[in-house]
Chain A
Amino acid sequence: MSNEIEDLLARMPLRQPAPSMDAKVLRAPHRGRRILWWAAAGGAVGAAAAVLLVAFALFRDDGDRVARDTNPPAPIPETPTVAKTDPAPVRLEQNWSTVAYEGVVAPDDRTPLRRFRRRMFEHVQWIDPARGTRMEMTVPHEEVILIKATAY
């Protein structure tokens, strides 16, 4: 009986995939490379934004006060639900940072320097609602900035 069923099943005509499936599947490697390129481009943009933020913060912290950016990071939004009519990929980028003043130092016993420690976080999400894929990347940075202190 099992053999009869197997024979019967084997004779059943199967629904065929659309020819376009081949193109989609075999195009997949290029899509992967695009994602990597996109990630690299996003990283470069994030790094540039971080440099601008540092420069902005340093120009603002002119006095000896403690400069501390205590703004909490903005909440990471939920994955947006995109309407079926708009399946375009979405890129969400968030950067936040803290700047802490760590006092005056004199590394070589000659020039007093004000030391700042800046911590930056870049968080990038790529969401493709059409494919249901989501990629996240968080890149932490830390840097110490020394600025010549004004002598009175």
Chain B
Amino acid sequence: MKETLEQVYSDHRQGLYTLALAITRRPERAEDAVQDAFARLWTAGVRLTGDPVPYVFAAVRNAAVDQMRRQNGAARRLESVSIYNGLPTDPAARAVSAEQHRLVREALDELPDAEREAVVMKIYAGLTFDQIARALGQPLQTVASRYRRALERMGRRLKGNGEAAHE
């Protein structure tokens, strides 16, 4: 069990943190959520059968939602932090301009929570739709269409802004 969880953490550290940050929108809360989730998994002594990845993502998501519930309204509005860092430093990622960076960040932030979680788990955690469906406890088709809707919504948002910028 311990080795399994350590392996999942090692393989999905960034994805787990990004999911928690997408929910809590505060880095320290996101780290606390990841830590809480693993503390619970370790102390619960649950015997994992099959793929442990969806189970761990579900635990982190629940811990992040718990963290959000503990924040009062003022604290939620105070420091909303994006999952994205500043402008990319590696050459491959420099293709993202400052304007694109801002637009993508805003488009992702404006997505409904469920759609944003699906995008983060698919793109940044690298989960399959099946794993996401199990982590969220939703039918696979629901998750897939949620993801597709999110991309369409972001596409419309980016296209609209792009045209507005050219006018």
Task: Let me know if A109 is at the binding interface, CB within 8 A.
Answer: no
Q: Residues of A contacting B90 with CB < 8 Å?
A: 13
Query: Do A31 and B84 have beta carbons less than 8 Å apart?
Result: no
Query: Do B83 and A31 have beta carbons less than 8 Å apart?
Result: no
Q: Residues of A contacting B36 with CB < 8 Å?
A: 131-133
Residue-wise interface mask of A (1-29) relative to B, using a CB-CB cutoff of 8 A (1 in contact, 0 not): 11011101111111111101110111011
Task: Let me know if B129 is at the binding interface, CB within 8 A.
Answer: no
Q: Residues of A contacting B158 with CB < 8 Å?
A: 5, 8
Q: Residues of B contacting A24 with CB < 8 Å?
A: 31, 35
Task: Let me know if A107 is at the binding interface, CB within 8 A.
Answer: no
Query: Do B85 and A17 have beta carbons less than 8 Å apart?
Result: no
Could you jot down 30 A-B contacts, CB within 8 Å?
A1-B155, A2-B155, A8-B100, A9-B108, A11-B88, A12-B84, A12-B93, A12-B101, A12-B104, A13-B85, A13-B86, A13-B88, A13-B89, A14-B83, A15-B18, A15-B81, A16-B85, A17-B13, A17-B17, A17-B31, A21-B35, A25-B9, A26-B9, A28-B39, A32-B39, A32-B42, A35-B43, A132-B36, A132-B67, A133-B39
Are A17 and B30 also in contact (CB < 8 A) when A5-B158, A8-B104, A11-B95 are? yes
Taking Cβ atoms with an 8 Å cutoff, the residues of A that contact B are 1-2, 4-6, 8-18, 20-22, 24-26, 28-29, 31-32, 35, 131-133
Q: How far is the CB of A88 from chain B (nearest CB, A)?
A: 17
Are A29 and B88 also in contact (CB < 8 A) when A2-B155, A15-B83 are? no
Interface of A is mostly: helix
Query: Do A132 and B17 have beta carbons less than 8 Å apart?
Result: no
Query: Do B14 and A16 have beta carbons less than 8 Å apart?
Result: yes
Chain B interface size range: 35 or more
List 16 additional contacts besides A8-B96, A15-B21; criterion CB under 8 Å: A1-B152, A8-B104, A11-B93, A11-B95, A14-B14, A15-B18, A16-B14, A16-B85, A21-B34, A22-B13, A25-B38, A28-B39, A28-B42, A29-B2, A35-B43, A132-B67
Rounded to whole angstroms, the CA-CA distance of A120 and B13 in the bound complex is 47
Query: Do B87 and A25 have beta carbons less than 8 Å apart?
Result: no
Task: Let me know if B48 is at the binding interface, CB within 8 A.
Answer: no
Q: Residues of A contacting B6 with CB < 8 Å?
A: 26
Rounded to whole angstroms, the CA-CA distance of A47 and B133 in the bound complex is 48
Rounded to whole angstroms, the CA-CA distance of A20 and B158 in the bound complex is 36
Q: Residues of A contacting B93 with CB < 8 Å?
A: 11-13
Q: Residues of B contacting A10 with CB < 8 Å?
A: 123
Q: How far is the CB of B148 from chain A (nearest CB, A)?
A: 7
